[in-house]
Each structure stands twice: as C-alpha cells, then as structure tokens.
Amino acid sequence: MQITLMYSPAPRQVLELNLQVSEGWTAQRALDQAGWTTAYPQLGTPALTLGVWGRRVSREHVLRDGDRLEVYRSLRVDPKVARRERFVGQGARGTGLFARRKAGSKAGY
C-alpha cells in the first residue's frame, strides 16, 4: 500500500513523505516506521491530532491504500477571537462592504 505522510512542524514549513506500508498498519505504526516520532518528539504528545484527508482519526486508525495521513498542530489563537480583535483595530467603516466607498456617495452604496 502506498500512503502519504504530511506534517508542518512550523509555519511555512511542510514535510511530505510517500511511504510503502503493509495491509493493516495503523496511523501510529506508520509514523513510527517513517522515523518521525524520534525525529519530532512532539508527535507523541496528545496536543497533536491526526487526520486522513482532512477527517480526524485516532492513532489506532487502520490505513488504506492511497490515504494521506496528516498531523495537525493545535491552534495558537482562536480564529473567532482573532477576527474580533482585527475588527476592533480596523473599525466598523474600514471593513466589509463599506470599506471602499466612492467619494461623495451615501453610506452603504
């Protein structure tokens, strides 16, 4: 079976590895076989989540041919909180539909 391992240890850095595995291998066994658990000790922490093609799976998930096993880091900032803070900084008139008004036009047009 051919699978692909994906991991981003830091922003703007992506590791991709194509791996040949046998039937019945779990996600954890594939990470061990690739040597990523020793090269990146943070993979052993429960803070990191695994997924196959964007869907969350456990470490005991049995892989199938063509799977793309992804390792997700935890978010540093909640996206909703970040958006609220950006909105406060920009103000109501600098965002959304009303950001670029023509000179002399009414509000909302």
pLDDT over threshold 90, residue 62: yes
Q: Is the pLDDT of residue 109 over 90?
A: no
Predicted model pTM: 0.66
Q: Is residue 56 part of a domain?
A: yes
Which pLDDT belongs to residue 99?
61
pLDDT at 95 over 60: no
Residue-averaged pLDDT of the chain: 81
The CATH number linked to 64 is 3.10.20.30
**Cβ within 8 Å of residue 92, ≥6 positions away:** none
In the chain, how many domains are there? 1
pLDDT band at 98 (very low <50, low <70, confident <90, very high): low
Host domain of residue 16 = 2-72
In the predicted structure, residue 32 carries a pLDDT above the cut 80: yes
Residue 19 lies in a domain: yes
Q: Considering the domain boundaries, does residue 91 fall inside one? A: no
